[in-house]
Chains A and B, each alone.
Chain A
């Protein structure tokens, strides 16, 4: 029964593809047991959040072929959505409970602006943190992909859009906190659980979101739509002549990627305890591209690990006396080396090594079998 055989091999392949994802998540969940240090745990949680952000870029870049240099825009929008809700939960010194946030008082704002009003509801804020980045991406994608903009032009447009939004946020100080961002936030509280940035609850919240976003992204790549998106990456016009509306598929993956980045942004606010225009800055956005390339953009787990490892290294280097001034150079060199010698990143390297081990083992197995055959022949 050939169809039965192929079915079970398909299941085996699914398990094999899912295994690295589950192993990595198991390690993430087990870490607090080994790491009994709240400060370090907060730091790791930060890197995990950046990992989610990088997975979102891997989805649009590695699978969809859309190099979004403004991925941090979605991240920043999510982060501000969460910060606005948490800011409204604080009790301002000047105006008392449910009064104006402090920075608005300093800027002589009289009433809470209309677009702040709904953020009194945490559920609304969380929904907005996912939906607003997705809608902004879908609108931008509608113009780009309907107009058949591809390649480097997509990168330029996304980067420029992010810079514009960044400048608007800095400029509109009375509504956004401007350059300082939104600081001095209340703690996130869901169903009576308080998420202290340095507490275990926050770490597990982040770890759960890591698992969730990796699974959602993985599930998408396994659907037929995910397959079509990869086909578009390889040969856009060929897909069109099979009757698929290419732009809609591109818009979908672009918006899905933005929603995951928005989730990461919300978590980042919780972990960092503030939102800042630097969260949608060029430096972060380009770093995400480096992490994704180093980890392997065509592997979701690879992109995640790339971010955690490289961002972790960045953190360590920038704090060490020896590399205080030069750590950006080290990062640049790493990027160049990976692009030159590991086009598929660390994930590609892992694949090559695994295949080599399997082949060695098979060869060894054959060698033993031959040896047995020879001894049998000689007796």
Chain B
């Protein structure tokens, strides 16, 4: 009842295709929730609905009592929702430190930001963030020159910089090496508790390493929820993944 984020009967369709069909989901404060499911299950669309990129045709999204479904994207962000995209999205022509500085959205109004850049506390903050995501040596390089894994980390660092209460991560480890994935899992473990996280992932090893509760989506609906072991044993889940070699190979 007293949940942090609540999706109630959320539906959305694209040209007649029901991407979400009366989806229900609730997440507690400080939880790290993993969202899995076969391709086309509606995982990314669920994140799009929460952060306002897509408007639901029916249903409500409430976050700490605020109805998000009618707000603009920037208003949802100000309410405390951060989003990492599946395709790493950073400011390519800006340096790593400038990327982090933009993400530190302490003030959001134009006139409030008409002051000269950063200060010593801001710079120290940016350096601390860069260290957190292992980009200290790249601070002054344009983001365009980073490797794929580094770009992913930069965007994760930007979300930490934004300091949103609820962070939505869409496939944060896509394209990372095994070692990079492990470091990302460690980072997420540190974020857990301070932030509420919803992570869409395909890598079951990663999901098992970080997740408390796993939500499985299928055909735009919530199929099952529980620990990794519970979910894997769930007959409906086994059927949904039938033919793809089971959940661990999805």
Contacts and interface: CB of A to CB of B under 8 A. Distances in A.
A240 B110 contact: no
A361 interface: no
B117 A227 contact: yes
A338 to B, nearest CB: 19
Interface in A1-54: 2-3, 6-7, 10
A6 B90 contact: no
B162 interface: yes
Contacts of B77: 240-243
Contact of A238 (B90, B98, B109, B118): B90
B110 A252 contact: yes
A127 interface: no
Given A224-B101, A234-B92, A6 B116 contact: no
Contacts of A6: 123, 127
Task: Give the interface SS of chain A, mostly helix, strand, loop or mixed.
Answer: helix
A230 B94 contact: yes
Question: 6 closest A-B pairs (Cβ-Cβ)?
Answer: A243-B77, A225-B113, A234-B91, A224-B113, A243-B78, A238-B89
B99 to A, nearest CB: 8
Contacts of B110: 225, 245, 248-249, 252
A103 B105 CA distance: 55
B20 to A, nearest CB: 20
Interface of B: 51, 53, 72-75, 77-78, 82-83, 85, 89-94, 98-99, 101-103, 105, 107-110, 113-118, 120, 123-124, 127, 158, 162
Nearest to A251: B110
Contacts of B113: 223-225, 228
A237 B102 CA distance: 13
A224 B115 contact: yes
A220 B78 CA distance: 24
Nearest to A252: B110
B94 A244 contact: no
9 contacts: A6-B123, A223-B114, A224-B114, A233-B93, A237-B73, A237-B89, A242-B82, A242-B103, A252-B110
B114 A230 contact: no
Interface of A: 2-3, 6-7, 10, 219-220, 222-225, 227-228, 230-231, 233-235, 237-246, 248-249, 252
B102 A228 contact: yes
A2 B126 CA distance: 13
Given A235-B91, A245-B109, A252-B110, 14 more contacts: A227-B94, A228-B102, A230-B98, A231-B99, A231-B102, A234-B94, A237-B89, A238-B89, A239-B102, A241-B51, A242-B82, A242-B102, A242-B162, A243-B78
A233 B72 CA distance: 20
Nearest to B144: A234
Contacts of A7: 120, 123
Nearest to B121: A3
Contacts of B105: 242-244
Contacts of B116: 219, 222-223
A222 B118 CA distance: 10
B195 to A, nearest CB: 15
B82 to A, nearest CB: 7
B53 to A, nearest CB: 8
Contacts of A230: 91, 93-94, 98
A220 B101 CA distance: 16
A10 B139 CA distance: 13
Contact of A240 (B73, B91, B92, B107): B73
Given A227-B101, A249-B110, A241 B73 contact: yes
B83 A241 contact: yes
B78 A231 contact: no
A240 B51 CA distance: 10
B74 A244 contact: yes
Contacts of A249: 110
